[in-house]
A and B are shown apart, each in its own frame.
Chain A
Amino acid sequence: MIALLLRDLRLAVRAGGGFGLGLAFFLIVTVLIPFGVGPETGLLSRIAPGVLWIGALLACLLSLDRIFALDWEDGSLDLLATAPLPMEGIVTIKALAHWITTGLPLVLAAPALGVLLSLPPSGYLWVLVSLALGTPALSVIGTFGAALTVGLKRGGLLLSILVLPLYVPTLIFGAEVARRGAEGLAVQTPLLMLAGISFGTLALLPFASAAVLRINLR
């Protein structure tokens, strides 16, 4: 399993697309927002936590279809399915690799982009914490969507339609933590809910993803 993780990470580094693409998209979204809503600092600092969350979510969405598509095309997915790894393990590792190549860079870049949106100083910590806690859930849910659409030719758009409604609870609680943190309010309740969603999806959703993947391989 470690080998699979290392291979996916190595591929992401070599192919370039992995780390760079999501980050660049995140940057573009956050840079475009002030052009859209105007440069007024007060407004920007108020919407900054939400914008950072939306940007991270969209950047994450962008790379979902790559989770299984390449392995499907070159036949590795068939071979992995006959390997002594449990399918649940494979999808979990795939989600983890996606998080490390996409989610983690987004988490780390968020404070830097927060500067561009004049995020209040009290917000940096909570944006970082909420994204660090929430992006794994985004990767795991996204892996489920990618497994659903793996054999389809134009699965990209369908994947977004399927995954976006599933992202709603994570987005609401994550952005709420970031917003309350930025405004100096208590964050305990949404933070606990966000953690609950993350751990819950991490524990349960791989079973659904594995079942879906088996159906798609047959």
Chain B
Amino acid sequence: MSIWEYANPVKFIRTTDRILPWVSVAAVLCLVTGLVWGYFFTPDDYRQGATVKIIYLHVPAALMAINAWIMMLVASLIWIVRRHHVSALAARAAAPVGAIFTVIALATGALWGQPMWGTWWAWDPRLTSFLILFLFYLGYMALWSAIENDDTAADLTSILCLVGSVFALLSRYAVLFWNQGLHQGASLSLDKEENVADVFWYPLLVCIAGFVLLFVALVFLRTQTEIRARRTRALLARESRT
């Protein structure tokens, strides 16, 4: 029994069909708990006032926007090395989710920045990096939809994802160098005492869990959809050929 068995489309659908309801319920539970907790039952920050409540959306979205790309990178590598179709389709399925999370991170960042920095948009390194990340997502999705042959598209997008990852990292350093920025340091690190007080930290953790579960649920669902679409096309092709 190896993990690669789940690379079989049928097996993947059967397994995820069993898991998906649980993940979805857990995602909704976590999101509702975390957001309600954060919104109604946490005090205002002494410096940032009520805007601190945005953290419960901004930080998880930003985290998952990056993690989604990393997941796509891993899936692309698996496709290049082992050519498991599910892996390529999972990368395709994750891209729009990652793009939306990026937009959420950008939008909440702008809304937060307005009262804090007095401007909607600053060419701050972090914001700029996310904007660039969004462009990468756009290019990746555009390439997927432009190519007709599914395997060619999978090959080309995985290579783009690889090359794009390198350039995204480069951009990150370039942008840091280019403008030192207004953004506070990472709000989240292992030595949490330094950054966020416990009152904010626990609901934030729940929200992060919620976003992770939401991402997993969406990727499962969308990958299933992609697999079914491929299967439909394959069946139709067989029909027309025999």
Complex CA–CA separation, A193 to B163 (angstroms): 18
Contact residue among A144, A152, A218 (Cβ-Cβ distance under 8 Å from B146): A152
Q: Say yes or no: A173 contacts B159, CB within 8 Å.
A: no
Chain B interface size range: 20 to 34
With contacts A165-B167, A193-B177, A197-B170 taken as known, whether A211 is within 8 angstroms of B159 at the C-beta atoms is yes
Q: Say yes or no: A166 contacts B177, CB within 8 Å.
A: no
Answer yes or no: B132 CB below 8 A from chain A CBs: yes
Complex A-B: 21 CB contacts under 8 Å: A144-B163, A148-B143, A148-B156, A148-B159, A149-B146, A161-B142, A165-B132, A165-B136, A165-B164, A168-B167, A168-B174, A168-B175, A169-B174, A172-B178, A173-B174, A193-B174, A205-B163, A212-B159, A215-B152, A215-B156, A215-B159
Residues on A with C-beta less than 8 A from B175 are: 168, 172
Shortest distance in angstroms between A133's beta carbon and chain B's nearest beta carbon? Answer: 15
Complex CA–CA separation, A168 to B170 (angstroms): 9
Summarize B's interface: helix, strand, loop or mixed.
helix
Which chain A residue has the least Cβ–Cβ distance from B172? A169
Which chain B residue has the least Cβ–Cβ distance from A190? B177
Shortest distance in angstroms between B101's beta carbon and chain A's nearest beta carbon? Answer: 17
Provide the A199-216 mask, 1 if CB < 8 A to any CB of B, else 0: 000000100100110011
Provide the A160-190 mask, 1 if CB < 8 A to any CB of B, else 0: 0110111011001100100000000000011
Q: Say yes or no: A169 contacts B160, CB within 8 Å.
A: no
Provide the B121-159 mask, 1 if CB < 8 A to any CB of A, else 0: 000000000001001101100110011000010011001
A side interface size, CB within 8 A: 27
Q: 9 nearest interchain CB pairs?
A: A165-B135, A169-B170, A169-B174, A172-B174, A162-B139, A168-B171, A215-B155, A161-B139, A166-B167
Shortest distance in angstroms between A22's beta carbon and chain B's nearest beta carbon? Answer: 23
Chain A residues in the interface with B (C-beta under 8 A): 144, 148-149, 152, 155, 158, 161-162, 164-166, 168-169, 172-173, 176, 189-190, 193, 197, 205, 208, 211-212, 215-216, 218
Answer yes or no: B107 CB below 8 A from chain A CBs: no
Residues on A with C-beta less than 8 A from B205 are: none
Residues on B with C-beta less than 8 A from A193 are: 174, 177
Provide the B40-51 mask, 1 if CB < 8 A to any CB of A, else 0: 000000000000
With contacts A169-B171, A211-B159, A216-B156 taken as known, whether A164 is within 8 angstroms of B177 at the C-beta atoms is no
Complex CA–CA separation, A158 to B162 (angstroms): 18
Residues on B with C-beta less than 8 A from A149 are: 146
Residues on B with C-beta less than 8 A from A158 are: 142-143, 146
